[in-house]
Amino acid sequence: MSLSNRYNPKETETKWYAHWEKNNYFHSEPDEREPYTIVIPPPNVTGVLHMGHMLNNTIQDILIRRARLQGKNACWVPGTDHASIATEAKVVKLLREQGIKKSDLTRDEFLSHAFAWKDKYGGMILQQLKRLGASCDWERTRFTMEESLSKAVVKVFVDLHKKGKIYRGLRMTNWDVEALTALSNEEVIYRDEHSQLFHIRYDIEGDSNEGIIIATQRPETIMADTAIAVHPDDERFKHLIGKNALIPLINRSIPIIEDTYVDIEFGTGALKITPAHDPNDYEVGQRHGLEVVDILNANGTLNENAQILVGEDRFVARKKIKKLLEESGNLVKLEDYTTSIGHSERTDAVVEPRLTLQWYLDMKDFAATGLKAVKNGEVKFYPESMWNMYYQWLNEDNIRDWCISRQLWWGQQIPAWYVRTADGRRWTVDGQEVAFVGGTVEEALGEAKIKTCSNNLTVKDLVRDEDVVDTWFSSWLWPITVFDGFENTDELKYYYPTNTLVTGWDIIFFWVARMIMAGYEWSEELLGADLKGKQPFNDVYFTGMVRDNKRRKMSKSLGNSPDALELIENYGADGVRFGMLSCSSAGNDIIFDAPFDPVTKKSLNESKLCEQGRNFCNKMWNALRLIKGWEIEDVEQPPINELAVRWIKDKADTVMDNAEKSFDQYRLSDVLMGQYQLIWSDFCSWYLEMIKPAYIGDGKSKPLDRKTYEATIGVFEKLMVSLHPFMPFVTEEIWHQLRQRQEGNDCMVQSYPKAGKIDEELVAAFEKAKDVISKIREIRNNKGISPNEALKLFVEKSGPSEKLLDKGGIKEMLMKLGNLSELTMVNEEPSNTVSFLSGTGKYFLEVNIEIDAEAELKRLTEEKNYYIGFIKGVGKKLSNERFVNNAPAPVVEKERQKLADGEEKLRLVEESLEKLEV
């Protein structure tokens, strides 16, 4: 057989992914096994794979593959999110480029464009996940806007409306002037920005000599003012209260009122009140019964109410009004000012507070439920500290109702209808529109007939609410709807609650919290006696944000992110998986150090960590080549090989044992590093070197005994299975190279190895031998003696060293790996040797060069000083009576042993020193 001396990920990755898919290994159906379920955080249907996805999905794949190897029924449900604002914005832009305006299209026309686009480009990201090796059950791929999931949205909307938790109200909402829709509070991102504070003088009506100066950073809204407010205790303005002021430029008269909301210290102490364009002013206005003058259109331009600058954009108007105020002499002062400005998460437009009619979900009960679920441990957070953030948002002082309506078309239309009256308007009660909510128009009609007391109404008299629901109003149902739980609970009762949710902490409010709420709201109603738990998932593993070495979030716009697929191209999927994982711990942000091109300042598609992963694959590949290159014969197993086999089995079991514990706490990078060390250092550097047959020249080696060979293949197989969740492709490939396999005998469907009983004494003896070998090598290095030159080693006769060398295979191990020609026990220190200590055993290495006495003296003196310091430290502890009396006995005993060892070592070093000095 001839294998290339480099592992080739490209070939094997496509080959094995296709093989796994062909064998239907990713698919899950309910059966008698224990389920292990993960629902993917659905990426935007139009998204492309980025570093965050890579991290996230690598972790999910590790958990899923491990569960599968453990014999569980592993089910990883993939899918995409329709991402209403983001996708609609993209489609609108695309149509505009084709010369089509959204406003010229009907709703249905627009939606067919959007679906066409989604069908063409959507789901690309899922294809990209396959490159990463994600073992999702692709047959179960879902989309938040497909029929069954949309039906569920309508169902829960109607249900919540019936329960009195959904209401429609006129509120100050965050308005996105670009997308022309309301936003929830969570969709507003605040950033500090430089701005100016305008000090503007308003004349007092009837006395043009008197004026009042207010400070504002939004001068373009003065035309919407309906009062000026001052603090009741502010002496400066007492005489003006009750008088009227005139708005500059338009000379509209507004009252001067007093309100404790005003901060005397800030600005001029006088505050213009603009109820239509500021949430706080709106409240002040309500308290004082002020009129609301709205001077802005939905797109952020000024309307006729403004009287001046009509049609101008708000920011253009700001510049223009500055000039007008300067000319009129009303602009008294300009002050630099920094303030935080809200932007739309999706379009980045500056958010405008706007008074609009929107649908809200009452969050009070939901929030309490959400808090309880985590507090009582039904949902566990990893890391636990995420609770703080969660609590802050959900506690009753902070929680706010969820604005769930959006003025968009791409999404689930709100199932509410209004009755059209004879004059073409909507039927009202006490001046308020009445909405009839129902699962179908007929249901709504039934309601309408009763409420309006008119039996002649037909569906033609009803007009449907134009709005759609917030994207998250569909994704909060994801753990239920991916199993069609609102229609049929057959699968839900098997898979619910899911096991682990893996997601970034940035969507803890948007998504995680709300899924928990939805789970508690409906799972019991749906499952009843079959309910295994109300929580949608037992554990939440929060990944950190992937950042660059300057700690900036990796993003396309910054150009600081390597291209995910290019990385896979360069290092292989396994290499990238290794790289991602080796720098990640739960909850902490991940610094993914990828070098930058010094010229373009863009990230290169390179990574040291991924390179390490690639090298690791290569290392394992070459271990395979080595083993497969040996000749095998039915000869007796030498003691050194027997020792090696017993040791590597124990070592592997120890690592496996620790891995179990780490896995249970989601310490995945610990598990991976354990495997890495085990394979590279223990298996390749020690084990294989030990059993490696001697070279006899002419490219030939002695044959290996069959027993050792079989054991080696067995251990290698075990290593591949336990590494498989992390690096699925290379392990599968090696698995198949190790032995001829029957169809279906694949690495990914083996059983996870279980740790056996460990011979601690053997492991300890082996470690001692390793130490002796390392020290021999160190002396060779220091003295410039070639590793090829065989040396003589003398061992001082003592209980422990005799015991060590008596252990089967140890002597042979020392001779082989230390390259010794002789190993002899002595009572006296032989001449012309270099002495060293290993444990409390004393060793003498014969070197055929002249010993530099001075250097030896220096080395031994340093060693001596170390032990003196060490003994002093331990001695101090032991002479402290309180330590001896208070510390647990085993701790004290250990310290005594440390002291005894230290003293013995010191004695041995001093002995050598004396000898040297003579």
Partner RNA sequence: GAGGCUGUAGCUCAGUUGGUUUAGAGCACUAGCUUGACAGGCUAGGGGUCAUGGGUUCGAAUCCCUUCAGCCUCACCA
Query: Which positions from 657 through 696 interact with RNA, judged by CB under 7 A?
Result: 661-662, 665, 667, 669-670, 673, 677, 680-681, 684-685, 688-689, 692, 695
**Sequence letter at residue 896:** R
Backbone phi, then psi, for 163, in 5-degree steps? Answer: -75, 0
- Assess contact for 645 and 708: CB atoms under 8 A: yes
- Assess contact for 723 and 716: CB atoms under 8 A: no
C-alpha to C-alpha distance for 871 and 600, rounded to whole angstroms: 58
If DSSP codes are grouped into helix, strand and coil, which group holds residue 728? helix
Length of the chain: 918
393 binds RNA (CB under 7 A): yes
What part of residues 784-843 is at the interface with RNA (CB under 7 A)? 784, 786-787, 839
Where would I find the beta strands (DSSP E) of 518-615? Answer: 537-543, 546-547, 590-591
Nearest distance, CB of residue 273 and RNA, angstroms: 10
Nearest distance, CB of residue 122 and RNA, angstroms: 28
Nearest distance, CB of residue 198 and RNA, angstroms: 7
Nearest distance, CB of residue 343 and RNA, angstroms: 12
Among the listed residues 61, 137, 176, 186, the single contact to RNA using CB under 7 A? 186
217 binds RNA (CB under 7 A): yes
CA–centroid distance for 267 within its chain: 43
Angle, CA of 755, 759 and 763, to the nearest 5°: 105
Nearest distance, CB of residue 393 and RNA, angstroms: 6
Using CB under 7 A, which of the segments 51-59, 152-160, 261-269, 313-321 binds RNA? Answer: 261-269
- Residues whose CB falls within 8 Å of the CB of residue 440, separated by 6 or more in sequence, listed in order: 415
Nearest distance, CB of residue 625 and RNA, angstroms: 4
197 binds RNA (CB under 7 A): yes
Q: Given the complex with RNA, which of 167 and 866 has the nearer CB atom?
A: 866
Among the listed residues 14, 253, 398, 432, the single contact to RNA using CB under 7 A? 398
585 binds RNA (CB under 7 A): yes
Using CB under 7 A, which of the segments 118-126, 137-145, 363-371, 613-621 binds RNA? Answer: 613-621
345 binds RNA (CB under 7 A): no
What part of residues 628-657 is at the interface with RNA (CB under 7 A)? 629
Nearest distance, CB of residue 374 and RNA, angstroms: 14
215 binds RNA (CB under 7 A): yes
What part of residues 45-104 is at the interface with RNA (CB under 7 A)? none
Backbone phi, then psi, for 846, in 5-degree steps? Answer: -85, 125
Q: Given the complex with RNA, which of 110 and 709 has the nearer CB atom?
A: 709
What part of residues 146-185 is at the interface with RNA (CB under 7 A)? 185
606 binds RNA (CB under 7 A): no
Nearest CA among 197, 200, 177, 77 for reference residue 129:
77
- Assess contact for 615 and 579: CB atoms under 8 A: no
Q: Given the complex with RNA, which of 415 and 562 has the nearer CB atom?
A: 562
Among the listed residues 362, 443, 606, 901, the single contact to RNA using CB under 7 A? 901
332 binds RNA (CB under 7 A): no
Q: Given the complex with RNA, which of 92 and 508 has the nearer CB atom?
A: 508
Secondary structure (DSSP) of 821-865:
EEEEEESSPPTTEEEEEETTEEEEEE-SS---HHHHHHHHHHHHH
If DSSP codes are grouped into helix, strand and coil, which group holds residue 417? strand
Nearest distance, CB of residue 182 and RNA, angstroms: 15
Q: Given the complex with RNA, which of 82 and 199 has the nearer CB atom?
A: 199
Q: Given the complex with RNA, which of 105 and 545 has the nearer CB atom?
A: 545
Q: Output the six-digit token pair for 272.
A: 């213009």
C-alpha to C-alpha distance for 152 and 80, rounded to whole angstroms: 16
Using CB under 7 A, which of the segments 422-430, 631-639, 820-828, 893-901 binds RNA? Answer: 893-901
Helix (H) or strand (E) holding 628: helix 608-628
Among the listed residues 70, 307, 407, 615, the single contact to RNA using CB under 7 A? 615
What part of residues 841-880 is at the interface with RNA (CB under 7 A)? 866-867, 869-870, 873, 877, 880
Among the listed residues 297, 791, 902, 912, the single contact to RNA using CB under 7 A? 902
For CA atoms 410, 412, 413, 414, the dihedral sign is: negative
Q: Output the six-digit token pair for 365.
A: 């009960």
Among the listed residues 141, 280, 637, 798, the single contact to RNA using CB under 7 A? 280
Among the listed residues 27, 243, 320, 625, the single contact to RNA using CB under 7 A? 625
If DSSP codes are grouped into helix, strand and coil, which group holds residue 449? helix
C-alpha to C-alpha distance for 160 and 627, rounded to whole angstroms: 65
Site string for RNA, 500-529 (x = CB under 7 A): ------x--x--------------------
Residue whose structure tokens are 């569960």: 67
Q: Given the complex with RNA, which of 116 and 190 has the nearer CB atom?
A: 190
Backbone phi, then psi, for 901, in 5-degree steps? Answer: -60, -45
Residue 599 CB neighbour total at 10 angstroms: 6
What part of residues 523-582 is at the interface with RNA (CB under 7 A)? 549, 551, 582
Q: Given the complex with RNA, which of 116 and 170 has the nearer CB atom?
A: 170
Among the listed residues 313, 362, 593, 829, the single contact to RNA using CB under 7 A? 593
14 binds RNA (CB under 7 A): no
Which neighbouring-strand residues pair with 229?
257, 271
Helix (H) or strand (E) holding 308: none
- Assess contact for 618 and 7: CB atoms under 8 A: yes
C-alpha to C-alpha distance for 714 and 719, rounded to whole angstroms: 9
C-alpha to C-alpha distance for 166 and 164, rounded to whole angstroms: 6
262 binds RNA (CB under 7 A): yes
Helix (H) or strand (E) holding 253: strand 253-258
Using CB under 7 A, which of the segments 311-319, 440-448, 843-851, 888-896 binds RNA? Answer: 888-896
- Assess contact for 91 and 410: CB atoms under 8 A: yes
333 binds RNA (CB under 7 A): no
Using CB under 7 A, which of the segments 313-321, 366-374, 390-398, 853-861 binds RNA? Answer: 390-398
Q: Output the six-digit token pair for 277.
A: 């364009």
Q: Given the complex with RNA, which of 234 and 484 has the nearer CB atom?
A: 234
Residue 710 CB neighbour total at 10 angstroms: 12
350 binds RNA (CB under 7 A): no
Nearest CA among 570, 558, 569, 564 for reference residue 596:
558
C-alpha to C-alpha distance for 403 and 82, rounded to whole angstroms: 18
Nearest distance, CB of residue 388 and RNA, angstroms: 4
Nearest distance, CB of residue 722 and RNA, angstroms: 18
392 binds RNA (CB under 7 A): yes
Among the listed residues 15, 252, 380, 777, the single contact to RNA using CB under 7 A? 777
Using CB under 7 A, which of the segments 21-29, 30-38, 332-340, 851-859 binds RNA? Answer: 332-340
Among the listed residues 23, 141, 452, 701, the single contact to RNA using CB under 7 A? 701
Q: Output the six-digit token pair for 323.
A: 């000039």
Using CB under 7 A, which of the segments 133-141, 265-273, 752-760, 847-855 binds RNA? Answer: 265-273
Q: What is the 3-state secondary structure (H, E, C) of 169-222?
A: EEEEEEEECCCCEEECHHHEEEEEEEEEEEEEEEEECCEEEEEEEEEECCHHHH
Using CB under 7 A, which of the segments 1-9, 44-52, 484-492, 712-720 binds RNA? Answer: 1-9
Number of residues counted as binding RNA (CB under 7 A) = 104
C-alpha to C-alpha distance for 131 and 48, rounded to whole angstroms: 13
Q: Given the complex with RNA, which of 74 and 254 has the nearer CB atom?
A: 254
If DSSP codes are grouped into helix, strand and coil, which group holds residue 783? helix
Nearest distance, CB of residue 819 and RNA, angstroms: 10
Which DSSP symbol is given to 45? T
